[in-house]
Amino acid sequence: MGNVLTIILQRLALGLLTLLIVSIVIFVAVNLLPGDFAQNILGQGATEEAVASIRRDLGLDQPMLSRYFGWLAGVLQGDFGSSFAQMNFASFSGTTSGATTVAEQIAPRFANTMFLAMVTAIIAVPVAITLGVLAALYRNTVFDRVANITTLSSISSPEFFLAYILILFLAVLNPILPSLSNIYEGMAFSERLEKSLLPALTLTLVVTAHMMRMTRAAIINLLASPYIEMARLKGLSPMRVIVKHALPNALAPIINVIALNLAYLITGVVVVEVVFVYPGIGQLFVDSVKIRDIPVVQACCLIFAAAYILLNLTADIMSILSNPRLRHPK
């Protein structure tokens, strides 16, 4: 058990180091974006003095290294700063007031994105595992070929293409679901779920393919194992052999691919949220990039990175706990 704990602590330390390096990359990349918030808000006719005044008030005139450490210190205390776009610039004199904190702006959007990811996961994970088990059970049959062709098609199609196809068939030609996901705080759960179904189905088509194919491959790799042959010789049905004997031993790679796809549900929703005008963190990220709201863009990127790293660490740890060979390395 001590060896497992050591491996887990090493993974956590590596995750924290990775997040620190990613934070540096995010800060540098965001600050190298073309355009300037002060220039955008004042317009092309603004004087250099007015632009310099706002930049000075926002701290944008400070050296990048100094700004990074100030931002990092705030993040470690849970303070992502104030949104530039929500500030009230009194007569463009550089005096700001009434600023909304980035955390206040992101919190409801992040909750919306998590709701969408949760709905998608509830649909996608059982469907993917079921299809993977059936494809392994009936491999090289018509069902297996159709499942593989369908999943390969969904993997190869961009998210926005799948989104518009679903809008066409489920919202325009057959008005079953709303095409716009204009959810808001206080909305009834049933209505929120209805408006989130179309983007959730789009994400399901994207992530189900990876999980289904990994489940199928992991199970087929185990079907030639001696204990599987022994189970067959005992007269167990093919479905029972796969579900009771093969699937539990194939959990490690399946857990990995599920965790990676759950990470995608949080970090890769940008395109889908924009298509459906879903008020999540992805939509906020795109809007903030347009107006160069640097604190919000940095916070969104860091949340995306932290979620991805955390779910990857979770996958690693669960793989260790579910695999005796990893728990007791030679």
> DSSP class of residue 87?
-
Cα–Cα distance, 252 to 242 (Å, whole number):
15
CA angle at residue 211 from 236 to 256, to 5 degrees?
95
User: Which one-letter amino acid corresponds to residue 239?
Assistant: M
CA 67 to chain centre: 27
Q: Please give the pLDDT value at position 227.
A: 80
What three-state secondary structure class fits 82?
Answer: strand
Q: Please give the pLDDT value at position 198.
A: 92
Contact between residue 125 and residue 211 where contact means Cβ atoms under 8 Å apart: yes
Instruction: Delineate the domains of the chain, giving CATH numbers in brackets.
Output: 107-290 (1.10.3720.10)
Q: Please give the pLDDT value at position 123.
A: 92
Q: Please give the pLDDT value at position 263.
A: 81
What are the CB-based long-range contacts (under 8 Å, 24+) for 4-8? 4/320, 4/321, 4/327, 7/320, 7/326, 8/317, 8/320
Whole-model pTM above 0.85? no
> Could you tell me which of 79, 73, 2, 99 has the C-alpha nearest to residue 293?
99
What is the chain's percent helix, strand, coil content, to nearest 5? Answer: 75, 0, 20
CA 303 to chain centre: 9
Q: Which residues does 47 contact at the CB level (< 8 Å), separation at least 6? A: none
Cα–Cα distance, 200 to 124 (Å, whole number):
9
E strand or H helix at 37:
helix 37-42
Q: Please give the pLDDT value at position 17.
A: 93
Q: Where are the beta strands (DSSP E) in 2-152?
A: 88-89, 96-97
Contact between residue 22 and residue 30 where contact means Cβ atoms under 8 Å apart: no
Q: Please give the pLDDT value at position 288.
A: 86
- Residue pLDDT tens, the chain, 330 long: 567 778 788 888 998 999 999 999 999 888 887 766 666 666 666 677 777 777 777 777 788 888 899 889 988 888 888 887 776 554 444 444 456 788 888 989 999 999 999 999 999 999 998 888 888 888 888 988 898 888 888 888 888 888 899 999 998 888 898 888 888 888 888 889 999 999 999 999 888 888 888 888 888 888 778 887 787 778 778 788 887 777 777 777 788 788 888 888 877 788 899 999 899 998 899 888 887 788 889 999 999 999 888 888 887 887 777 666 655 555
